[in-house]
Structures are given as C-alpha cells and as structure tokens.
Structure 1
C-alpha cells in the first residue's frame, strides 16, 4: 500500500514538473518567434559601427548582421524595430519586440529589469577631445574641471561614465552620437565620452585632424543581447548561438563580421 502511494506521489510530481516545462516553453519568446515566423529586433541606428543608416536610409552595421545571422539560424524572417535608446527597455517589457541588439552594455541596474545573454563583444568608454585642448588636457582626469563641457548620449553608459569621472565638469546629453560629437567638432563642447569602437571609427573619418582620441578606456563594458526575464529556453538558445558563431572555425562568422566592421573601413563610404 505504502509502495503504491509512493509511486503515485512520484508520478504526480513528474506530471506536475512536465506540465511546468510545457508551460515554460509555451510562454518562451523563442517558441513565440518560431510560431510567428518572425524575429523582432530593437535597435537605435546612430551608433557606428554597430547600427547606423547608410546614404539610402537603410539600417546597416555589426548588430544588424548579427541579427540577420540569428534569424537565419532560427529559420524565420527578421524585422528591425527602430527605437529610441532611452525607451528601448520599456518597449521590450511591453512586448513591442522580442530582443534588443543595440550595443547595450550589461549593467547591474539594467539587469534588475531585464536579462542578458553572454557578452558578444567587450568595449570601454573613451574620450574624443577637441584638438584645441590637447596641450591642456593630457590625461582623462584633467577634464574634471568646471571650465570644461562634456557631451554624451542620454541613457547610455557614456553618460554614466562622464558623470562618474568628471563631477566638476558640465555634462550635456543628446539623443544621438552624431549630435553629441558634433558639439565637440564645432567647438561648443570640450570632449565627447562614448564607446571605444564608435570613437575609433569616427576618428578615421570626420574626426581626423579636428579631434584627439584619448583611447585608454575609462571602463570595462561587455555588450550583450537583452531579453525579458523568466525565459531559460531563449537564454539557452542565445548563448549556444553565440558559442557557435565564435567557435565554428569553418563558418568563422564572428571573426568575419568583426573584421568587416571594426578592422576594415570600406563601409564608411556608405554612410558619409
């Protein structure tokens, strides 16, 4: 009798666990993507070379190519959702899209609201300085002075770093990288704080001869895919996708895309 009760109890537990697994999968973002046949990716074009618009208005960049590879691996169509960065997390939480692939840095504050995949690339904040200040500002700490004005993008980690390291300086924020760096180019601001890849690329183009790149990173910043909490199936798929594109030496996708957007500069002609 006791044996039969124990068997029935174990069967009940297993049935319950199986039902929980089914419900998890049913509610998983990954399952919904497969059923829709469409992957909705949120990004804000304007962060070279991760995402930007070319001369014809098309959104291109490193993150866009990653998103294309992701959709192809899922066997679904890709839909890019152009979104302002300061509202991009709110859009994810209200199901306007499935995932954020927009050069987003993993931070503890963001991680309270959303989950992140493993990092797909690591960057740091660096400084673009107006060339007329190069004799006065030799090290980043020299910028921490009330007579200087620093620009950054609203809500991005450049703003966080600027306010943390330069408490005495005036920090002004803008909606896009191009607006913020233009203030420095035009001499209305002293310096611009932003991610190292963007600053490196900018110096190879419009910044040449007008700005100085103080390229020692102020921060350590892993960038990752962002998705809603409570979704282990989607997280598992994303991390395995990353592992595959980084470790598969035959396809070599990760290295090819890195070289295309961070080493070569042919794409600059499409956006300038």
Structure 2
C-alpha cells in the first residue's frame, strides 16, 4: 500500500508540473486578455486595390480589330477598349491602357495589369496562369484571302499544300493554329497585326487564318479580301477577359458587370458600330 501511495503522489506532482508548463506556454503564445491569437490584417483583393488606387490597369495589344486598336498617334479604340472604360466607370475609377503584345501578354498581365482585354481567346494554357471572366462572344479560326482565291481555300486540306503562303502574327492563337495544322504550306511571320492584311492584298501572302469576327471586319475595310465561311469556322473558341488567378472577389465583380452589360444593352451599344 505504501508503494502505491508513493507512486500516486509522484504522478500528482508530475501532473501539477505539466500544468504549470502548459500555462506558461499559453501565456507566451496568447496575448493576455484576448483568449485567442491576434488576427492578421486581411490582404486586399484586387477589387479593393483598384478602388483604392483610383485606376484600372488594362493590358491590351492594340492590333486586333474590332476588339482593340491603337493608332499611330497612340489613341485606343475597339469594343473591348470601350468595355474596359465602362467597367472602370462602374468602379468609379479611370482606365489606364497598358500596351502589350500577344507574345508577352501573360507576362505583362501578371506584372502590370488588373485585367487584359482585346479579343482574348479562352485557352487551357492561359487558364494555367490566370482566371477568365465569363465568355462574351463565340468565335473560331477561318481563312481570309483575296476574293478571287476564296474557292481555293475552303478547307485545311486545300490550304496545306506546297506553295501556299499562310501569314501569321507571332505569339498568339493564330500562329498556334497554323503551326498545329499545316505541314506543307509555308508559314510567313509578320510582326504587325495592324498591317498584316495589307500583305495579302499586295500578294505577299495568300491567306491568313484568324478569328471570324476579325475576318469579317477586315473584309469590310479591304474590298479585295473575302472572309471564307465565317459562320462555319474550323474551330470553336470563346472570348473573355483575363483576371488575376485566385482572386475570386474580383472575378465575381467582373462577371456580374459583364452579365449586366450583355443584357441591358451596354454591349450591343458599344459593339454595334464595329460589327453591326
């Protein structure tokens, strides 16, 4: 009995000592009187940052009408440029357009911008690096060529032949589509997407494959050119706006703004002068 009593006393002493240690640790870890660790200030989401900054930074290439265009004097226009200004107005801030290229779009967007606009196609590769807004247009790749050659370039099989010169603007989905589907045709790079269609008119290339909306608009500007089956393009694609990856708050705001714009007449009013 004496052995058991001494053992019990030792365990009681150990328990008391342990309790003292735990209380001491708690006193260090938990500020007195709070009962819980001090909360860290919540990081601002992009929506709050834009409002506090007073400006919406918008990346765009300026070379993809009817969505985005920057003229020689530096003036910006296009459906998505006007839409970006509308979004900024709804936020109570000003829109600042940041020039980029298709080749550097994702890098510039992550480093400099809150949103990227200008006929940006939804792709899985881009989705690895950013979120997309809801889609606002459906499009797809189709040829544009001199009107006398329209019957020659109805299919990919007709296009992918030796001697056929297909012009591309480097870095975007147009080049990706051409390189993925052409093995025998010659791919010609032209760095300026604003003057690329003039190369077809001049006979320096036979055709270009780009989004149907662009082919229809360019055909209106150049009577020598015809859009080939724009209502039945080779591919399916959707247009959307790039927003920062992981920022659901900002994405949700952009989605709600865009949803309203598509249904209250705002998008039709802005796009009408460009696409009718």
Does residue 257 (structure 1) correspond to residue 266 (structure 2)? The answer is no
Larger radius of gyration: 2
TM-score with structure 2 length normalisation?
Answer: 0.80
> Cα distance, 1:238 vs. partner?
0.8
> Cα distance, 1:126 vs. partner?
1.4
Structure 1, 64-73 or 48-57: larger mean CA deviation: 48-57
> Cα distance, 1:55 vs. partner?
6.9
2:134 corresponding residue in structure 1 = 118
How far apart, in 2, do the equivalents of 1:64 and 1:121 lie?
Answer: 15
Q: Deviation per CA, 1:6-53, whole angstroms, max 9, x where unpaired? A: xxxxxxxxx99xx68x63xx3311111011011010101121111113
Structure 2 residue runs without a partner (length 5+): 1-35
Q: Contact between 1:52 and 1:60, CA under 8 Å: does it hold in 2?
A: yes
> Cα distance, 1:138 vs. partner?
4.2
Q: Contact between 2:56 and 2:93, CA under 8 Å: does it hold in 1?
A: yes
The CA RMSD over aligned residues, in Å, is 2.2
User: Size of the alignment, in residue pairs?
Assistant: 239
Q: Deviation per CA, 1:207-242, whole angstroms, max 9, x where unpaired? A: x1x223212311111111112211010111011111
How far apart, in 1, do the equivalents of 2:220 and 2:191 lie?
Answer: 23
Indicate how the Cα distance of structure 1 residues 164 and 39 shifts in structure 2: closer, same or farther if over 3 A, else same.
same
Does residue 46 (structure 1) correspond to residue 72 (structure 2)? The answer is no
Q: Contact between 1:199 and 1:213, CA under 8 Å: does it hold in 2?
A: yes
Structure 1, 234-243 or 50-59: larger mean CA deviation: 50-59
Q: Contact between 2:165 and 2:186, CA under 8 Å: does it hold in 1?
A: yes
> Cα distance, 1:132 vs. partner?
4.8
Structure 1 residue runs without a partner (length 5+): 1-14, 264-272
> Once superposed, which parts of structure 1, at least 4 consecutive aligned residues long, lie more than 6 Å away?
none
How far apart, in 2, do the equivalents of 1:173 and 1:205 lie?
Answer: 22
